[in-house]
Amino acid sequence: MAKANKRAQTPRHRPNAPRERPSAEHPAAPTGTRVAAGGGVPASAARVTTGVPGLDRVLGGGLPAGGLYILQGTPGAGKTTLANQLAFAHAKAPGAGTVVYLTLLAESHERLLANLRTMTFFDEHALGSRIAYVSAFSVLESKGLDGLLELLRRELRRRGARILVLDGLGAIEDSAKSPREVKRFVQAVQVQAGLLGFTGVLVTSVPTKLGTRSEHTMVDGIIELSDKTFGNVAVRQLEVKKLRGSAYHRGLHTFSITDDGVQVFPRIESLLQFPSKFDASIGRRTKTGIGQLDTMLHGGLPSGSTTMLVGPSGAGKTVFGLHYLSRSTAKEPGLLFSFYETPARLLDKANKIGVDLRALVEKGHVEIEWEPPIERLLDDLGDRLLTAVRRRRVKRLFIDGLGGFAASAVHPERLPAFFTALANELRARDVTTVYTVESRNIVGREIEAPLTGISTIVENLFVLRFIEVGAQLHRLLSIVKVRDSKYECDVRELRIGPSGIDIARTFASADEILTVPALPTTVAAMTTQSRQRR
């Protein structure tokens, strides 16, 4: 008989995984459409959760159970932290079986545990009974790979382990006479994983001393951690290079290591290739909180839409947003996602224009999330925003300073896709979003927005300008675009007083301002300098 599909015969390989069913949160897409919960990654086999926030999502639900995986990375990249986090997460799960953490490192367990004790996932009570740290260095030295395999098999079987972490695959490569021996060892561990029913993680550094890693072709998955610098900023990145039997989110994802361990931030545009739901708000309107503007918009902003408010510093963008949030209620919760102004300053600013933001915050109708954009991770910010939206089912979102996201992007070319995915998801969640973008020029008739490539997400575009007439500065508002809606497109004068924004009822005052020849500040300054020289 011909030798057919021999790979599928190995005991560890378990096909025919159940598929994830749509839920109320992620309803099934109508026939003929492509909308997949969580970005289009189908669920496959039974999974082992990694206990690492964000990583299971990258992996499409966790590590397929019964497989053997390589976790590799440069020294200091976070491999041992991640592997231990996985071990402790598994040990905490009720009825999950034990973990054997087999080390081939020169470092003692005392030192390893001393470092782990600073982590919040560390649990002293799990040691021994649920996580067994086994040093195999001396066995490898004295008995070679066969001795190591025997130790591994006996320990796993004796303890009924469901997880094996083998920390120090490099020591096996050092000990082996050829890549073939390493391959044979990995294959033997794979067979044991199938027979004994455990999932294995082999931890190792890169690059290998033996050149091409033969074991890479054999294992069920490879996760690589790296730590790179962009300018002066160091960024940790994770990439799943291979995962058999499962779709996963390819490419680089950033991660952080804190006292809570590793947290992975899947690339938003990969995670949300398709929004989790369909638009639910077509045809409805959301009041802006500025009466005259709602009149110009024939009732308000289209619900679930995205509005970009462009203007120079001081033009009234934040004040606009505070008006917008002032209409937040228990049914229409608001979120102020601020990058630059602190909550205290925002509360004070609102108070000065007669918006009792503090009361709205105290009632829980508005939440202020302040995220200073200093050495931040783009996807962390995106995740925080979406988490805050989901947690309170936010309907009114004001992002004060879209540039805060851009400032956190080490790969700016990602921004258009990032913003598109974010906007699609917010729209699907019936969130009406207003965000501000600061223009480069302070005063003048032309407006230059510093962010490029975001036009695709702009459904409504409002422009604020300063115009100089004589010794006076005037603010003008233009509604440039509103998605699929009628609106008054004439320019209006906008004033900010003790009651906040007041928009002129007609274009007459704006017309008067614009018909007077005005010089932008920069030109005026040059003219003044020129006169002084003369």
Partner 1 sequence: MKRILVVDDEIGIAEAVSDLLGDEGYVVDVARNGEDAITLLSAKRFDLVLLDWMMPITDGLGVMTALRGMANRKSPPVIVMSALPEDVVRSDAEIAGFLRKPFDVGDLLRVVSQTLPAR
5 binds partner 1 (CB under 8 A): yes
SS3 of residue 149 by DSSP: helix
Contact, 420 vs 372, CB < 8 A?
no
Query: 96 to 115, contacts with partner 1 by CB under 8 A?
Result: none
CB 145 → partner 1: shortest distance, Å?
12
* Burial class of 143 by CB neighbour count within 10 A (0 to 12, 13 to 18, 19+): middle
Q: How many residues of this chain interact with partner 1, rule: CB under 8 A?
A: 27
Contact 248, 240 (CB under 8 A): yes
Spatial neighbors of 72 by CB under 8 A, at least 6 apart, are: 79, 203, 204, 205, 206, 222, 223, 224, 225
Q: Which of 29, 188, 469, 496 lies at the binding interface for partner 1 (CB under 8 A)?
A: 188
Cα 71–Cα 76–Cα 79 angle in degrees, nearest 5: 20
Residue number, 9 or 515, with CB nearest to partner 1: 9
For the bound state, the minimum distance from the C-beta of residue 197 to partner 1, rounded and expressed in Å, comes to: 5
Binding span for partner 1 by CB under 8 A among 26-34, 114-122, 184-192, 365-373: 184-192
Neighbours of 90 (CB within 10 A): 24
* Least gap, CB of 188 to partner 1 (angstroms): 5
Q: How far apart are CA 476 and CA 467, in angstroms?
A: 7
4 forms part of the interface with partner 1 (CB under 8 A): yes
- x/- track of binding to partner 1 for residues 46-75 (CB under 8 A): --------------------x---------
Q: Is 197 in the site for partner 1 (CB under 8 A)?
A: yes
Between CA 188 and CA 224 the distance in angstroms is 23
CA angle 389, 390, 392 (to 5 degrees): 75
We find the least distance from the C-beta atom of residue 14 to partner 1, in angstroms, to be 6
What is the contact mask toward partner 1 in residues 132 to 151, using x (rule: CB under 8 A)?
------------------x-
Contact characters 246-285, partner 1, x per CB under 8 A: ----------------------------------------
Residue 265 phi/psi, 5-degree rounding, is: -115, 95
227 forms beta bridges with 236
Residue 10 lies near partner 1 (rule: CB under 8 A): yes
Q: Could you say whether residue 192 binds partner 1 (CB under 8 A)?
A: yes
The residue written with tokens 């925080």 in the block is 384
Query: Which pair of structure tokens corresponds to residue 366?
Result: 């508005």
Shortest approach of partner 1 to residue 192 CB, angstroms? 6
358 binds partner 1 (CB under 8 A): no
Residue 206 interacts with partner 1 (CB under 8 A): yes or no: no
Select from 3-11, 133-141, 402-410, 456-464 the region that touches partner 1 (CB under 8 A): 3-11
Helix ranges (H only) for 429-534 are: 508-515, 521-533
Q: For partner 1, give the closer residue by CB, 83 or 176.
A: 176
Residues contributing to the site for partner 1 (CB under 8 A): 1-6, 8-14, 66, 150, 153, 157, 184, 187-188, 190-192, 194-197
